[in-house]
Amino acid sequence: MPAIARTRIAILATHGFEQSELEVPLKTLREKGATVDVVSLKAGEIKGWDEKDWGAAVSVDRVLADAEPADYDALVLPGGQINPDLLRIEDDAIDFIKGFDRAGKPIAAICHAPWLLVEAGLLKGRRVTSYHSIRTDVVNAGAEWVDESVVRDGLLATSRNPGDLENFVAAIVEMVEEGAATREAAE
């Protein structure tokens, strides 16, 4: 059984997430056997953004107020322009992200989601990528920005856009499996 099958992963999102950037990791990670929760600010459903208009709704599995980084092995942050902009002004969302960093757990952010990493103060001295329009924000936060489909810097993986999803999800799987193997070796 692959190590990922024994893991729990949180996808933190709210309305306006880029449809594919939430759905592809959610589907792929669940197919690989991980338990994946969509965590959001309120119960019910959140609505995606699909290219030029509102997309499909996704069910929220857990409300952020009831979620703790200790409950999960990794965190995925989908982009879209609206979703991270709404989340970055929510103290609970930023604290949740910081908790994964403090615990040394993998964090993966795509597209505009590195805005959340900027807000959490997690980019200084890191090598990352993002959607090109937020490059200046990322650089001003102290990161080295590069134009690559996926960039890993320790337990942080970042990608640019939906075209990078295959590499992005592969990096998430790799980080989660490395973490599971490390935990098993310690037991």
pLDDT digits (tens, 9 = 90+) for 17-46: 999 999 999 999 999 999 999 999 999 999
CATH dotted code for 3-186? 3.40.50.880
153 Ramachandran zone, left/alpha/beta (phi>0; psi -120 to 50)? beta
Residue with tokens 């990078």: 164
Task: Extract the tokens encoding 32.
Answer: 């690989």
| pLDDT at residue 123 tops 80 | yes
Q: How confident is the model at residue 185 (pLDDT cuts 50, 70, 90)?
A: low
Q: What is the pLDDT of residue 51?
A: 86
Residues catalogued as catalytic: 112
- Give me 77's structure tokens: 């942050």
- Report whether 123 contacts 138 (CB < 8 A): yes
Give tens-digit pLDDT for 47-75: 999 989 999 999 999 999 999 999 999 99
Q: Would you state the structure tokens that stand for residue 108, as one six-digit string?
A: 């993966």
User: Does residue 153 sit in helix, strand or coil?
Assistant: strand
Q: Residue 145 — very low, low, confident or very high, per pLDDT cuts 50/70/90? A: very high
Is the dihedral angle over the CA atoms 57, 11, 27, 160 positive or is it negative?
positive
Buried b / exposed e across 92-114, counting CB within 10 Å, b at 16+? ebbebbbbbbeeebbbbbbbbbb
User: Domain ranges in the chain?
Assistant: 3-186
The confidence score (pLDDT) of residue 181 equals: 64
| pLDDT tens-digit readout, 81-121 | 999 999 999 999 999 999 999 999 999 999 999 999 999 99
Query: How far is 44 from 182, CA to CA, in rounded Å?
Result: 35
pTM of the model: 0.96
Residue 182: the pLDDT is: 66
Q: At what angle do helices 165-186 and 19-31 cross, to 10 degrees?
A: 40
Mean pLDDT of the chain, nearest integer: 95
